[in-house]
Structure 1
């Protein structure tokens, strides 16, 4: 064969090399299965991370709700300082959720009645009564006053699936929020 006056000699070995290169150019079934296996392991890891992230987001949401409820009661107590003794020792467990009549009255509530109204409204929010949606699942709230230090402690607790720490232990106190304040 001649190309521009040059002669090319193509031997049988040159065609054989071309054919063997063509045969080695594709993937084998085993290589595809190994790739699929590695991909499946990666996707399972990603699904686990997504699930753990959703649990942590739910926990953060519940903690935020507890914070809102605790500071709501702090503001109610500070707004009614003259009747502060009425807020002491309150618990939402078994508390009445029926608002006093002064709430719907056009004349409003007296300072003493406002304590009852505040506690009922707070208990309703913590327990999710009346709204159909509980801000906290199994929510409970307590107000405690320490006379020696004049410190009020508001604690909100709720039910939540236990979160595990780095060593696999269940993190304690992850379903409780506490605020301490003085007047």
Structure 2
């Protein structure tokens, strides 16, 4: 039989250990929740980029006879967008630029409806093949896109103290559009 006076405080100690275990578990849940929010935002941005990518691919496919005029010398989506007047290609370029800047959804004067820092590029690969790329700013650094993807290269690096160096925060999606010869 255990003496009663040697058991004093044991219940309090057990309660304290339980509280410490619960606190660590809750801290783990908070950390997991914050990582899930970042992952959800990255996935949302990727889906938006794919929508923008497919939009331009469809525009080129529809206007296949003038596909070469969709080629961009510099990334689209920064600065002022061109006016949506003139040829079908000019209207498409202006609408794509506005979409890359998020003009579809605004709050006050801020454009919110797109990826962060979205840029779009259309490259002529020859033989009626066009590489369409959408680049954007990711939230956390991961591996850089392949060297063959030039759109937005070195445009998403932060300052010297930033974790986003060497294109580690640049995200890209690409697609290839082939225009067949219809004779």
Offset of residue 50 of structure 1? 1.2
TM-score, reference length from structure 1: 0.70
Structure 2 residue 16 is the aligned partner of structure 1 residue 37? no
Larger radius of gyration: 1
TM-score, reference length from structure 2: 0.70
| Residue among 89, 96, 116 paired with 2:81 | 96
Task: Tell me the equivalent position of 1:160.
Answer: 138
Contact 2:122 2:131 in 1 (8 A): yes
Following superposition, which runs of at least 4 residues in structure 1 exceed 6 angstroms of deviation? none
Task: Tell me the equivalent position of 1:69.
Answer: 52
RMSD: 2.9
Task: Tell me the equivalent position of 1:177.
Answer: 173
Summarize deviations over 1:11-46 as a string: whole Å, max 9, x none: xxxxxx7xx79x97x961111000000011111111
When the two structures are aligned, how many residues end up with a matched partner?
A: 150
Structure 2 residue 71 is the aligned partner of structure 1 residue 114? no
Normalized per residue, the structure richer in helix is 1
What is the distance in 1 between the residues matched to 2:36 and 2:27? Answer: 14
Offset of residue 130 of structure 1? 6.4
- Unaligned runs of at least 5 residues, structure 1: 1-16, 103-112
- Unaligned runs of at least 5 residues, structure 2: 107-111, 144-162
What is the distance in 1 between the residues matched to 2:84 and 2:178? Answer: 27
What is the distance in 1 between the residues matched to 2:97 and 2:137? Answer: 16
Offset of residue 176 of structure 1? 1.4
Q: Structure 1 stretch 67-76 or stretch 124-133: which is displaced more?
A: 124-133
